[in-house]
Chain A
Amino acid sequence: MPLLEIKKAKLKLDNKDILKGLSLSVSSGEVHAIMGPNGSGKSTLSYMLAGRDGYELESGEVFLQGQALSDMEADERARSGLFLAFQYPVELPGVGGMSFLREAVNSRRKFLGEGELDHLAFVKEARKVASKMFVKDDMLKRAVNVGFSGGEKKRFEILQMAMLKPKVSILDETDSGLDVDALKIVSDGVNAQRNDENAIVVITHYQRLLDYIVPDFVHILSDGRIIKSGGPELALEVEKNGYAGLINAA
């Protein structure tokens, strides 16, 4: 059984067709990359999966570990192990990063039937993970994403991913805004979490990220559909020739 299965997903926003019958199957242990032109529906796909209000499917189905997502609210999906690293992480003024993380982690642990971490154990764990991601302790004390630089926001997303240990992670342009060193650090952070029991979907515009996070499959999303799938070589082709040829051929 795939970890994530999308079957003929159709979705309208503001009466406009955005997803037009998209199908994708992701099994455990796999990394999938989704590439596609601006406005092709990549972020829409990620919001739909995460259960954002207003992103309900018009038709089609999605299953997370065999369970229909349509029955689950956004927070249930998250607790069940679906994680979305936002293209534009949201600022939460006054909400301390450490406290936010702890509530999130404890919600997930509760769902898994694991006990809540006490304050000290949690802080220790968070510091450990943070230091691996080269996130300064200071950032955990600050309000979530408030005044973070673009790159810091992305790092903080991956730090959250590492803390939450999701089953399926969708990384929406996590590489954009990262400098070369940060790209390496974040990629290492993601790679460290790859295992046989989870899956990662990376949405990106740049082949460069895929040198670090090497995908098993690459999909080209255009106009609400996956028009071509292949191996890592497909990303190289996009890098070289752009999308035009692929779109025309489809």
Chain B
Amino acid sequence: MVATQETIDKVKEVSSTYKYGFVTDLEAEKAPLGLSEDIVKFISHKKKEPKWLLEWRLKAYKKWLSMEAPNWAMVDFPEINFQDIYYYSAPKTKPKLNSLDEVDPELLRTYEKLGIPIKEQQVLAGVAVDYVFDSVSVATTFREKLAKEGIIFCPISEAVQSHPDLVKKYIGSVIPISDNYYAALNSAVFTDGSFVYIPKGVKCPMELSTYFRINEQNSGQFERTLIIAEDNTYVSYLEGCTAPQRDENQLHAAVVELVAMNNAEIKYSTVQNWYPGDKDGRGGIYNFVTKRGNCLGKKSKISWTQVETGSAITWKYPSCVLKGDDSVGEFYSVAVANNAQQADTGTKMIHIGKNTKSTIISKGISAGKAQNTYRGQVQIQKNAKGSRNFTQCDSLLIGDKCGAHTVPYINQFTPHARVEHEATTSKISEDQLFYCLQRGLDTEQATSLIVNGFCKEVMKELPMEFAVEAQKLIGISLEGSVG
């Protein structure tokens, strides 16, 4: 799939500026600056949470205090001052969830600028969108249609109220609070996110989608998403992210947990377009995210597809724990790093059950002075006989000041398994560019075309309507990197 003419026009139209760099002028209701036990209580109180959840948060907070920020990733940034962040910010005009007409028009305009007008989205074939505006979900669409199937799709804060048993049972079951520094932090202060529950035997009839957006200055965003797919189900979920342009850095530390039971399939796609900072590395989002899926059931399948074009620093490893026999984990990734961006991303495939299979296709694109690292772990445990992994890591370099690194870790504890790893590094060759130019394409068109060609295997995994958007983003984010 390649860039359309529309893509090219889009690329030109945004020229060197970040397209989504506008700020919505809404008075936010904030918690006081900084982090303390009181702030954790404030958040929990604001959300009228049950006692068990407050206790869970406090436990996570205590754990976090005892942990150290990790420093093993190949990224470089000044220490984060966690006392200089607002942990709770909600748009003041509390929107009514039932009727879009009552949503603050300023908010609706923001969505329009993002290119996702709610009204249009509703009409658009089968996409249900759960909007997260800073920390509170303001509108949820298509909920009724889903409810008919017994599917629950709502903000997690709401699920805490309406389905406390499910939340209590699964939250932290895939990523425990002590998992890592940022997961502990998220567990203490998460404000919102999505909750999806697919009951037995139901194939979700539409793509579920959430657009995240960080708006408030200095407000870290800590979403928490939990998706549970019962036996014999299918669900495809897409998250898209965009944040306005800022000079300071913002922290984004989300946690996503997926649970797949027998013969259940979860497809989780991300198009991440947070503000990457300027050419010299000022500003931009720190995207430190923990995502993991448990393939608990037999023949279950979890598939992560990500297109990461934004953020100053991306640090994430969507992973699969393949417990169920014959379960399948997949990771398809495109990570673009331009200018001063740093990306350290990859996956972990933990094979526990018999005959489990995993596939990793990673496409890293580096331009400018950017550093792009694939870091992946494949672990085949003792009982995972007959398991197989195939990993392919391709790096594409544009220019000679950027870097690509591949760091595979393979731990195999049974000889009855097969692990394959292939890696390539290539450049956009002068020959290729000239060939395209000779056919009348300009440099940006040519680059976009070649890069999208390089990413094709991953792009085809994205839901159709988002593939086009993702192609555009790749073109936009590499703009000016060649010629």
| Bound CA span A89–B432, Å | 9
User: Is A84 on the interface with B (CB-CB < 8 A)?
Assistant: yes
The answer to whether A92 and B453 have CB atoms under 8 Å apart is: yes
| Bound CA span A5–B189, Å | 72
User: Is B442 on the interface with A (CB-CB < 8 A)?
Assistant: yes
Best-surrounded residue of B439, B445, B457 (most CB of chain A within 10 A):
B439
Name B3's closest neighbour in chain A (CB-CB). A103
Smallest beta-carbon distance A78→chain B, Å = 4
The answer to whether B453 and A75 have CB atoms under 8 Å apart is: no
User: Is B105 on the interface with A (CB-CB < 8 A)?
Assistant: no
Chain A, 66-108, CB within 8 A of any chain B CB: 73-75, 78-79, 83-84, 86, 89-96, 99-100, 103-104, 106-108
| Bound CA span A239–B379, Å | 66
Question: CB-CB < 8 A to A107: which residues of B?
Answer: 439-442, 445
| Bound CA span A111–B456, Å | 29
A-B contact count (CB 8 A): 85
Name A163's closest neighbour in chain B (CB-CB). B439
Question: CB-CB < 8 A to B441: which residues of A?
Answer: 75, 103-104, 107
- Assuming the contacts A52-B434, A95-B2, asked whether A100 and B452 have C-beta atoms less than 8 A apart, the reply is no
A interface residue count range (under 10 / 10 to 19 / 20 to 34 / 35 or more): 20 to 34
User: Is A164 on the interface with B (CB-CB < 8 A)?
Assistant: yes
The answer to whether B445 and A86 have CB atoms under 8 Å apart is: no
The answer to whether A78 and B438 have CB atoms under 8 Å apart is: yes
The answer to whether A79 and B454 have CB atoms under 8 Å apart is: no
Q: Mark A103-122, 1 if CB is under 8 A from B, else 0.
A: 11011100100001000000
| Bound CA span A116–B5, Å | 9
| Bound CA span A86–B437, Å | 13
Name A84's closest neighbour in chain B (CB-CB). B438
User: Is B436 on the interface with A (CB-CB < 8 A)?
Assistant: yes
The answer to whether B453 and A93 have CB atoms under 8 Å apart is: yes
Question: CB-CB < 8 A to A104: which residues of B?
Answer: 439-441
The answer to whether A103 and B449 have CB atoms under 8 Å apart is: yes
- Assuming the contacts A92-B432, A106-B5, A116-B5, asked whether A100 and B454 have C-beta atoms less than 8 A apart, the reply is no
Question: CB-CB < 8 A to B3: which residues of A?
Answer: 103
The answer to whether A111 and B437 have CB atoms under 8 Å apart is: no
The answer to whether A90 and B432 have CB atoms under 8 Å apart is: yes
Point out the residue from A75, A86, A89, A93 that lies within 8 Å of B440, measured CB to CB.
Answer: A75
The answer to whether A94 and B456 have CB atoms under 8 Å apart is: yes
Smallest beta-carbon distance A24→chain B, Å = 20
Smallest beta-carbon distance B443→chain A, Å = 7
Smallest beta-carbon distance B299→chain A, Å = 31
- Assuming the contacts A95-B453, A99-B1, asked whether A74 and B434 have C-beta atoms less than 8 A apart, the reply is yes
Chain B, 417-432, CB within 8 A of any chain A CB: 429-432
- Assuming the contacts A53-B430, A103-B5, asked whether A92 and B452 have C-beta atoms less than 8 A apart, the reply is no
The answer to whether A92 and B442 have CB atoms under 8 Å apart is: no
Best-surrounded residue of B435, B443, B453 (most CB of chain A within 10 A):
B435
Question: CB-CB < 8 A to B429: which residues of A?
Answer: 90
Q: Mark A37-63, 1 if CB is under 8 A from B, else 0.
A: 000000000000011110000000000
Question: CB-CB < 8 A to B8: which residues of A?
Answer: 103
Best-surrounded residue of B3, B432, B440 (most CB of chain A within 10 A):
B440
The answer to whether B2 and A103 have CB atoms under 8 Å apart is: yes
| Bound CA span A107–B434, Å | 15
Question: CB-CB < 8 A to A143: which residues of B?
Answer: 453
| Bound CA span A193–B5, Å | 27
User: Is B455 on the interface with A (CB-CB < 8 A)?
Assistant: yes
User: Is B450 on the interface with A (CB-CB < 8 A)?
Assistant: yes
Name A46's closest neighbour in chain B (CB-CB). B438
Would you give 26 A-B contacts (Cβ < 8 Å), ordered by A? A50-B434, A73-B437, A74-B437, A75-B443, A78-B438, A90-B429, A94-B453, A94-B454, A94-B456, A95-B449, A96-B2, A96-B453, A99-B449, A100-B2, A100-B436, A103-B2, A103-B8, A103-B439, A103-B445, A103-B449, A104-B439, A104-B440, A104-B441, A107-B440, A111-B440, A116-B5
Task: Name B's A-contacting residues (CB within 8 A).
Answer: 1-3, 5, 8, 429-432, 434-443, 445, 449-450, 452-457
Task: Name A's B-contacting residues (CB within 8 A).
Answer: 50-53, 73-75, 78-79, 83-84, 86, 89-96, 99-100, 103-104, 106-108, 111, 116, 143, 160, 164
Q: When A and B form their complex, which 3 residue pairs have the shortest distance between CB atoms, in order from nearest?
A: A94-B453, A95-B453, A107-B440
